[in-house]
């Protein structure tokens, strides 16, 4: 024998044995035995007819029979794939615990939970995958108490009544083009993360014990119908748009806006108590109500950031408002510094205070070519102090009735200025009205300015909801410079098919590109669709309790006109809901009907430029 072959002799048998053991160990360590449940038709999770099942496990490995368990203590691991419209009835507690590998909702498919869902328990962390175009709805509270990563991709919508992102490092990401809709409250706890690159719409946004919300994508949009609340150790990073009714820092927390795409609009009041609101890199905030810097609160504007506060601004003891590096602010009312706070401007910052400044305590300091303009008067007393340094200036229109330079309240150093000097606001608004002309089916919008300075033009914006969704419907050139009353009018002749309130606001744009908004006015449109064809929508059953409610198109050809938005306009604080799937939209509206008082409900349905109103009776 010239050579030894592994295929002959006793050595060969030993070699095969060792080699076989090696392969067995290799495959046992790399292959994951599992059971896969795949939906085969629309149906209920708890019914056998909804599922097909395949597995690679032995019968002694505790193979699940019939329907997929939502958690499993031991044995053959479970994975679920949904290709259809599947409903889970009741509450789903400890969803995905132990040997539950994960769940995948395919494009065009949907998963609806009729009760509460809690992702908790032990074992391996399950995956939670939604493909583009998938839909998920939770009629109750969705609580995530495990380090699960959930991604809502483009063209997918997740709708939840209440969302609680727990403190076990869970992470939820809404990708660009994806939507997360919370009908009631979104709550972020310590060590939780919510990334919004697409759209988040919620009634309330609450950071209860920390947590991070990153809206650091230029297309990110956060809409909060009522209140955004930040507490100690919580952080909101913004590079998109935040629209909220109220913004409150209760015991700390940080909001960082860091780009020219970052815009904060507060419809009512801002309260910063022991928290930090930081704006930089040309970001902006507009507060239409009162602004209170609170106890130990800080509002910081740097690197060309801007702020516009329309109501009373309060800077109490321990609070600070800072503007630096070519940033600017405008206070449209009075400033109250009772108790003693601090207002500081540095490095070419500019501040406009249209009303009076009350300074019984606290300090106002200007540095390095910064300027402050006060439209009324300044009254300093007790420990109140104004200091101007290094070529900065403090100008007061009503200087004769203000605290004078010779008093101990005023310090003017290093070629700076304190004294009389009026300023020119871009626009001082006068009357603003809107009326609907039923004969012409158009809105007539009229407004006045009593003074203009460097005013470029006005943009008329319209909304059918009054909360968001404003679009520009016209542009009017401004007088530019005037100390007289200037009148303007715009006719909105392109109102979409609509019956109900239509809202208007005016965007005033300066010659340098800066802008500010007027107040909002509304008109009642008197059935602009009187001469149109019959409604393409039908709602049934009618009367209804909300259960089993259906919203259908009478013309199937209209189903391809894009997303459909609906709300109950006769119900106070009704939330707008949107879906491309009519069954999901019907479910969401049915939930709102079930919470409405008995009587007539008016449902507003918007698809494209068509707005339809349907009456139903809640029993």
- Residues across the chain: 619
pLDDT value at residue 25 = 38
Structure confidence at residue 137 as a pLDDT band (50, 70, 90): very high
In this predicted structure, the answer to whether residue 7 has a pLDDT above a threshold of 60 is no
In this predicted structure, the answer to whether residue 151 has a pLDDT above a threshold of 90 is yes
What would the mean pLDDT of 241-255 be, rounded to a whole number?
Answer: 91
What would the mean pLDDT of 172-188 be, rounded to a whole number?
Answer: 94
What is the separation of C-alpha 254 from the centre of its chain, rounded to a whole number of angstroms? Answer: 16
Give 396-403's long-range contacts (Cβ < 8 A, gap of 24+).
396/420, 396/421, 397/373, 397/421, 397/422, 397/423, 398/374, 401/377, 402/374, 402/377, 402/378, 403/359, 403/378, 403/379
Of the listed ranges 93-107, 412-426, 464-478, the least confidently predicted one is 464-478
Q: What end-to-end distance do the CA atoms of the chain give, in Å? A: 97
In this predicted structure, the answer to whether residue 161 has a pLDDT above a threshold of 80 is yes
pLDDT value at residue 277 = 95
Structure confidence at residue 23 as a pLDDT band (50, 70, 90): very low
Better-predicted residue by pLDDT, 14 or 584: 584
Count other C-beta atoms under 10 Å from residue 283's C-beta. 26
Count other C-beta atoms under 10 Å from residue 543's C-beta. 11
Torsion (CA) 265, 269, 275, 277 in degrees, nearest 10: 30
pLDDT value at residue 468 = 58
Better-predicted residue by pLDDT, 611 or 17: 611
Count other C-beta atoms under 10 Å from residue 434's C-beta. 21
Better-predicted residue by pLDDT, 65 or 141: 141
In this predicted structure, the answer to whether residue 317 has a pLDDT above a threshold of 50 is yes
In this predicted structure, the answer to whether residue 15 has a pLDDT above a threshold of 60 is no
CA 571, 223, 299, 306 torsion-angle sign: negative
pLDDT value at residue 498 = 61
pLDDT value at residue 121 = 86
pLDDT value at residue 569 = 76
Q: What's domain 427-525's superfamily in CATH?
A: Immunoglobulins (2.60.40.10)
Please give the order of strands across the beta sheet that includes 486-492: 427-437, 442-452, 486-492
Rounded-to-integer distance, Cα 62 and Cα 59, Å: 6
Better-predicted residue by pLDDT, 58 or 4: 58
Q: What is the pLDDT of residues 593-605, one digit of tens each?
A: 888 887 778 888 8
Torsion (CA) 113, 114, 119, 121 in degrees, nearest 10: -120
In this predicted structure, the answer to whether residue 398 has a pLDDT above a threshold of 80 is yes
What is the separation of C-alpha 220 from the centre of its chain, rounded to a whole number of angstroms? Answer: 8
CA 565, 566, 569, 575 torsion-angle sign: negative
What would the mean pLDDT of 171-199 be, rounded to a whole number?
Answer: 94
Q: Rg (Cα) of the chain, in Å, rounded?
A: 31
In this predicted structure, the answer to whether residue 104 has a pLDDT above a threshold of 70 is yes
Query: What is the pLDDT of the chain when averaged over all its residues?
Result: 85
Q: Would you list the domain boundaries of the chain?
A: 292-422, 427-525, 537-618
pLDDT value at residue 580 = 75
Structure confidence at residue 354 as a pLDDT band (50, 70, 90): confident
Stated pTM of the model: 0.69
pLDDT value at residue 555 = 58
Cβ 394 vs Cβ 372: under 8 Å: yes
Nearest to 420 by CA among 376, 466, 454: 376
In this predicted structure, the answer to whether residue 531 has a pLDDT above a threshold of 50 is no
Residue in the structure block whose two tokens are 């939820």: 172
Rounded-to-integer distance, Cα 305 and Cα 325, Å: 9
pLDDT value at residue 199 = 93
pLDDT value at residue 4 = 30
Rounded-to-integer distance, Cα 234 and Cα 248, Å: 12
What would the mean pLDDT of 135-163 be, rounded to a whole number?
Answer: 94
What would the mean pLDDT of 268-294 be, rounded to a whole number?
Answer: 91
Better-predicted residue by pLDDT, 258 or 430: 258
In our burial notation (b when 16+ CB lie closer than 10 A, e otherwise), range 124-161 reads: ebbbbbbbebbbbbbbbbbbbbbebbbbbbebbbbbbb
Cβ 102 vs Cβ 72: under 8 Å: no
Residue in the structure block whose two tokens are 């049934």: 540
């Amino acid at each position: 024998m010239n050579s030894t072959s592994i295929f002959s002799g006793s050595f060969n048998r030993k070699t095969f044995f060792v080699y076989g053991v090696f392969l067995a160990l290799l495959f046992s360590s790399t292959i994951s035995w599992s059971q896969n449940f795949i939906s085969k038709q629309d149906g209920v999770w708890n019914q056998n007819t909804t599922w097909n099942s395949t597995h690679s496990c032995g019968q002694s490995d505790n193979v699940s029979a019939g329907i997929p368990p939502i958690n499993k203590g031991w044995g053959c691991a479970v994975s679920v794939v949904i290709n259809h419209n599947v409903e889970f009835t009741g509450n789903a507690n400890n969803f995905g615990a132990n040997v539950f590998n994960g769940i995948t909702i395919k494009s065009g498919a949907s998963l609806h939970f009729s009760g509460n869902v809690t992702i908790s328990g032990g074992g391996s962390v399950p995956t939670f995958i939604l493909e583009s175009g998938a839909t998920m709805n939770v009629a109750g509270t969705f609580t995530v108490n495990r380090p699960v990563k959930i991604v809502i991709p483009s063209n997918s919508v997740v709708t939840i009544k209440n969302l609680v992102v727990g403190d076990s490092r869970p992470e939820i990401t809404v990708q660009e083009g994806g939507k997360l809709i919370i009908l009631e409250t979104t709550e972020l706890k310590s060590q939780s993360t919510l990334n919004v690159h697409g759209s988040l719409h919620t009634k309330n946004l609450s950071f209860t014990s920390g947590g991070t919300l990153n809206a650091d994508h230029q297309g990110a949009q956060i809409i909060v119908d009522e209140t955004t609340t930040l507490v100690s150790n919580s952080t909101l990073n913004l590079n998109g748009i935040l629209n909220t009714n109220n913004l409150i820092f209760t015991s700390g927390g940080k909001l960082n806006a860091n780009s020219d795409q970052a815009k904060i609009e507060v419809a009512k009041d801002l309260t910063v108590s022991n928290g930090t609101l930081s704006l930089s890199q040309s970001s902006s905030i507009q507060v239409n109500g009162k602004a209170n810097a609170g106890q130990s609160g800080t509002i910081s504007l740097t690197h060309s950031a801007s702020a516009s506060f329309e109501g009373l601004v309060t800077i109490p003891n321990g609070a600070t408002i800072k503007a630096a590096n070519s940033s600017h602010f405008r206070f449209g009312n009075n400033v109250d510094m009772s108790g003693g706070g601090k207002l500081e401007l540095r490095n070419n910052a500019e501040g406009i205070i249209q009303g009076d400044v009350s300074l019984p305590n606290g300090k106002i300091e200007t540095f390095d070519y910064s300027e402050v303009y006060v439209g009324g008067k300044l009254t300093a007393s007790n420990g109140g102090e104004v200091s101007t340094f290094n070529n900065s200036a403090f100008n007061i229109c009503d200087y004769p009735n203000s605290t004078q330079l010779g008093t101990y309240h005023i310090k003017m150093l290093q070629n700076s200025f304190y004294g009389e000097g009026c300023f020119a606001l871009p626009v001082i608004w006068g009357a603003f009205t809107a009326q609907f002309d039923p004969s012409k089916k158009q809105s007539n919008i009229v407004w006045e300015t009593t003074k203009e300075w460097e005013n470029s033009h006005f943009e008329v914006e319209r909304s059918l909801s009054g909360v968001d969704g404003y679009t520009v419907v016209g542009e009017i050139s401004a007088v530019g410079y005037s100390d007289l009353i200037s009148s303007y009018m715009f006719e909105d002749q392109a109102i979409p098919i609509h019956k109900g309130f239509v809202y208007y606001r005016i965007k005033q744009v300066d010659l340098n590109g800066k802008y500010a908004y007027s107040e909002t006015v509304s008109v009642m449109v008197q059935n602009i669709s009187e001469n149109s064809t019959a409604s393409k929508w039908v709602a049934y059953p009618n009367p209804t309790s909300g259960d089993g409610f259906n919203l259908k198109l009478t013309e199937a050809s209209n189903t391809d006109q894009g997303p459909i938005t609906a709300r109950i306009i006769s119900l106070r604080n009704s939330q707008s809901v949107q879906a491309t799937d009519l069954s999901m939209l019907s479910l969401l509206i049915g939930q709102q009907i079930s919470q409405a008082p008995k009587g007539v409900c008016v449902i507003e349905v918007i698809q494209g430029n068509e707005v339809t109103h349907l009456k139903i009776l809640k029993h």
